């Protein structure tokens, strides 16, 4: 399942889903470097 598919199923926008994903699994690519 892609982020967009999950967003559609969850009724959330992709941006909101990505925000939640970063909250649970922050990545070095988030600009924290």
In this prediction the pTM is: 0.32
Q: Two tokens at 17?
A: 């889903």
| pLDDT at 13 (0 to 100) | 65
| pLDDT at 21 (0 to 100) | 78
- Number of continuous H segments (helices) and E segments (strands) in the chain: 2, 0
Separation between Cα atoms, residue 9 and residue 17, nearest integer Å: 11
pLDDT tens digits, one per residue of 3-27: 677 666 666 566 777 787 777 776 6
| pLDDT at 5 (0 to 100) | 72
Separation between Cα atoms, residue 18 and residue 23, nearest integer Å: 9
Separation between Cα atoms, residue 3 and residue 25, nearest integer Å: 14
The domain limits of the chain are 1-28
């Amino acid at each position: 399942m892609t982020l967009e598919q999950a967003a559609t199923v969850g009724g959330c926008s992709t941006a909101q889903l990505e925000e939640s994903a970063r909250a649970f699994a922050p990545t070095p690519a988030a600009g924290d470097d």
